Structure 1
Amino acid sequence: MSPSQPINHLSIADAGKALRAGQITARQLTEDALDQVAALDPSVNAFVLVTVARALKDAERADADFANGIDRGPMQGIPYALKDIYATARIRTTCHSNLLRDAIPSTDSAVAERLANSGGVLIGKVGTFEFAIGGPSFDLPFPPARNPWNLDHFTGGSSSGSAAAVAAGMVRIAMGSDTGGSIRAPAGYCGVVGLKPTYGRVSRRGVFPLSYSLDHCGPLAWSVEDTALAMQVIAGYDPFDAASADVPVPNFTAKMRHELIGLRIGYTRNFYIENSFCTPDAAKALDAAAQQLASLGAVVEEVAMPPFEQFDACKNTILFAEAYAIHESDLKTRPYAYGRKAYQTLVSGAVLSAADLVQAQRLRRELTTFLNQNVLRAYDALLAPNMLRTAAPFSSFGPDDGGGGGVLTGPFNVTGNPALALPIGFVADGLPLSAQIVGRPFDEPTVLQIGAAYEAAAGFTGRRPILKRQKPLECSLPL
């Protein structure tokens, strides 16, 4: 730990080294994180609940374990936040909705349980689009999170609070969920790293569902290494999640120091080159990222993919049909309790037929087979666009539509492949741009290897937004 390095700038890896060397304590890390939240969150609106008492208790337990020679892994003593669709025992879990405003689960979600058992420090719950869909909205119990790079712009969603909290430096890591891009889009808009693991790699038990066959759980973090360290804790088979994959958990950092020489990376340029949302800045940054990977020794070649529109139509049909099935009873009996945007989005699933869903699932199988048996048989990974423009201002969102668009994340929810979002540059007004590295099923180590090599060479991950600190809120934060 450098004497000149602020404690809140330490990565998970560096904080872990300092904790184990006795240079800092989990209590110090936690108090610093709580101070950051108190000073910055009144402007950012990332948190819907700050669990002060729980955080301090977790920190004391982590410090006691260190003192007794007990090492629970890379998250021990590290503050983190959970998207407010992750059930937390005896702690309010609202899904950012009036329907669950006072809901208090009796048990933890699988991820919350794993993080607690690993010695992590829960700082609180962060905001989301209502039920992970339909935002940003201003008619909900909590305001939408704001983009730390420009508070007049939105964060993307639905893991909006997770991305904002990490980008602002309130926590190093926050958990999100991804059904059509809800980890990767906000990670991209907020200039942080986000990983959608392979479908089934991380248990979704205890996470409020949006689409049973598309939902993924994963982390948002400052860096690829921090992402990998969090994955080491949260990944693993869960017999109580029907979609959980019974496969070995690899060492997610094992390849991260390896060179890219010999790797073959397909560049899905056709996904965006004719897309009307694509800005010149995004196109230039994506091409530069491809060139950077080639300069690191990888063979980078353009690869033909099925039209993005096929993936998008497939994803939307499955998502809206399954989301409507989940919410059907409440949509019929308590429609007034939903926010306008979530209601309008969810109710659209009512017009879909069984035939629509069957055809979408058939197309899904064809697209997944093409990607894995054709494209990824010839290439180790793909470089793909994440979003084709920077975050829109809140002023561009009307009550029934928005200023979003140009997010190209959905294809890899359809196929279930691991996909890593990472920054690839900034435009003139300071807002970030992002790309995805996509890998073969359960080959997150190669995805992380490529992401870490690019990150080290490009240097964008080290940039942080500058936010005005406000007077700390003392102990007025909810417990």
Structure 2
Amino acid sequence: MNVLNSSLLQLHEMLVNKEITSEQLVKAYIERIEATDETMRSFLTLNKEQALEQARKIDEEGIKEEEYLKGIPVGIKDNIVTKDLRTTAASKMLENFVPVYDATVMEKLYQAGMIPVGKLNMDEFAMGASTETSHFQQTVNAWDHTKVPGGSSGGSATAVAARQIPCALGSDTGGSVRQPSSFNGVVGMKPTYGRVSRYGLIAFASSLDQIGTITKTVEDNALLLNAICGPDEKDYTSARVEVPDFTAKIGQNIAGMKIGVPKEFMSDAVSTEVKEKVQEAMKQFEALGATVEEVSLPYAPYGISVYYVQACAEAASNLSRFDGIRYGYRVENVENLEDVYVKSRSEGFGDEVKRRIMIGTYSLSAGNFDAHYKKASQVRTLICEDFAKVLKEYDVILAPTSPTPAFTIGEVQDPVAMYTSDLLTIPVNLAGLPSMSIPCGFVDGLPVGMQIIGRPFDEATIYQVASAFEKATDFHLEKPEIAKGEDHE
């Protein structure tokens, strides 16, 4: 069995049966990265020597049957803090920042025995939908190198799709795990807000950010989410709820389940081709015994307006810490303190980050707070209530992940047009719900994803529904050209 196309469970079996060592596995993936990353440009920093050293230690300890993730490599989005490993958030502001502590999710990955092999490219400070705002490089789509990989977790999704890594962590503030997963034909989960600790995640919008998981298959995704969840006293928004085994319902029948499809998510804003793929998926779910019905989320279309007021306001607050004083980029040849602040931030931040800081500052200003931020908060409550009403009657909600397949690099120049890429994912973040994107077809050779949205802390049902669809179809078995003929035996 080849290594690069194997699932996490298959890799685990190989390691337990001593068909391969962890060191050999890590070497295979590092060789793959070195052979392909000049094209893909997924990685910002490689952790080669430390990863191999960790793998050798694991080989000495041995791997038990129940240690499903031990000895397996993982990629990390570059806004997740990693001790002694450069963490940039793809910004000039943090170009040389080497943290002195690990994010909670990193501690959990180490406890599970996983091996981080590097940090993955992204939109600067997670602000973007195409990874085009990265200060360092342009990651490309795994299926078509002229297309964007999506964002902001573009590096994470592309690396998994191109078989540079078996799984990766991303972060999702308005769709930043699900949309790039859709564009690259992989599985991306945004858990319920509070399910995964945000301690050590460089903050963009604190009431929306959530670390998520990107894998090739649904079961792999559940295994990875198992490892990173749980309450954390270092994160006051971390939910004090029990963490179930997310694989428990995988393989169970979905006959009799009720699936709602919001008419607002199948509007003219969504391309005809994408709608057709989701409609075909609806028929597949009916063939599996589920009831699929149209529902309404009347306030969801206001999600983008609410999001860009609230997220930008929180970003303006969170990014005020990058001031050229304690850490990060600091301009030289300044005459006074104001120069340090203004010039360091002017040179350290990219255009999209500055744009969002300005929008947020405007929304929070004395004359605009009630008209913009307060009004957005009220509409956010209505969006939450919409979802709650539908999810009382239905087990899950089904919708396209993105209005279109991946678009061409450089094609979308208007920032407002770019914001519409998150039209279908943003309402889920505003409501704090779990949602997963899985492949449901192809349009002109490019993957199309659909999202399955669940009740709060009911990720297990999403995995059940997603795995039933995955088992009945073969979209997850399709590979981009760069992943063909590259199998390590």
1:272 to 246, 252, 266: 266
CA distance in 2, matches of 1:140, 1:451: 32
Aligned CA distance change for structure 1 residues 135 and 228 (closer, same or farther; 3 Å): closer
Q: Structure 2: where are the runs of 5+ without partners?
A: 324-340
8 Å contact kept, 1:260–1:453? yes
Distance 2:133 2:208 in 1: 27
The correspondence for 1:149, drawn from 143, 149, 154, is 143
**1:331-342 mapped onto 2 (5 Å cutoff):** 333=342, 334-342=345-353
Is 1:345 the equivalent of 2:356? yes
Is the Cα–Cα contact under 8 Å of residues 127 and 133 in structure 2 kept in the other structure? no
Q: Tell me which residue corresponds to 1:397.
A: 412
Q: Give the letter for the 1:224 counterpart.
A: V
Name the amino acid aligned to 2:279. D
TM-score by length of 2: 0.90
Partners of 1:72 and 1:118 within 8 A in 2: no
Q: Does 1:361 align with 2:377?
A: yes
* Alpha-carbon distance, 1:129 to partner: 0.4
Q: Deviations over 1:225-276 (max 9, x none)?
A: 110000110011111101100100001000001010121111123323232x
2:455 to 420, 440, 446: 440
Q: Which residue of 1 aligns with 2:288?
A: 296
Q: Is 2:342 aligned against 1:324?
A: no
Name the aligned partner's letter for residue 357 of structure 2. L
Q: Tell me, yes or no, if structure 1 residue 12 matches structure 2 residue 27.
A: no
Q: Which moved more, 1:208-217 or 1:331-340?
A: 331-340
Q: Report the Cα offset of residue 18 of structure 1.
A: 1.5
Distance in 1 (CA, whole Å) between partners of 2:60 and 2:66 is 12
Aligned to 2:78: 84
Structure 1 distance, partners of 2:193, 2:106, is: 18
Distance 1:221 1:410, change over 3 A: same
In the superposition, relative to structure 1, how do residues 348 and 295 fare at CA in structure 2: closer, same or farther (>3 Å)? same
1:233 counterpart SS class: helix
Partner Cα separation in structure 1 for residue 243 and residue 351 of structure 2: 41
User: How far off its partner does 1:339 sit?
Assistant: 1.5
Asked whether 1:63 is paired with 2:47, we answer: no
The reply to whether residue 413 of structure 1 matches residue 429 of structure 2 is yes
Corresponding residue for residue 475 of structure 1 = none
Equivalent position of 2:439 in the other structure: 423
Asked whether 1:21 is paired with 2:17, we answer yes
CA distance in 1, matches of 2:351, 2:211: 26
| Change over 3 Å in CA distance of 1:99–1:399 after alignment to 2 | farther
Instruction: In structure 1, list runs of 5 or more residues that go unmatched.
Output: 472-479
Check if 1:463 corresponds to 2:481.
no
- Asked if 2 retains the 8 angstrom alpha-carbon contact of 1:39 and 1:470, the reply is no
Q: Contact 1:191–1:434 (CA<8 Å) still a contact in 2? A: yes
The alpha-carbon distance between structure 1 residues 140 and 179, as it changes in their structure 2 partners (threshold 3 A), is closer
Tell me the equivalent position of 2:329. none
Match of 2:327 in 1: none
| SS in structure 2 at match of 1:266 | strand
1:28, distance to aligned residue in structure 2 (A):
1.5
Structure 1 residue identity aligned to 2:459 = E
- The structural deviation recorded for 1:172 is 1.2
What is the TM-score with the length of structure 1 in the denominator?
0.92
Report the Cα offset of residue 81 of structure 1. Answer: 0.6
Q: 1:476 maps to what in 2? A: none
- Name 1:177's counterpart in structure 2: 171
Aligned match of 1:477 = none
2:109 alignment partner in structure 1: 115
What is the CA RMSD across the aligned residues, in angstroms?
A: 2.0
Task: Give the drift of 1:341.
Answer: 2.4
- 2:234 corresponds in structure 1 to 240
Counterpart check, 1:163 vs 2:163: no
1:35-74 Cα shifts (integer Å, max 9, x gaps): 11011111000000111011101211222222xx656732
How many residues align? The count is 461
2:26 corresponds to: 30
Deviation at residue 403 of structure 1 after TM alignment? 5.8
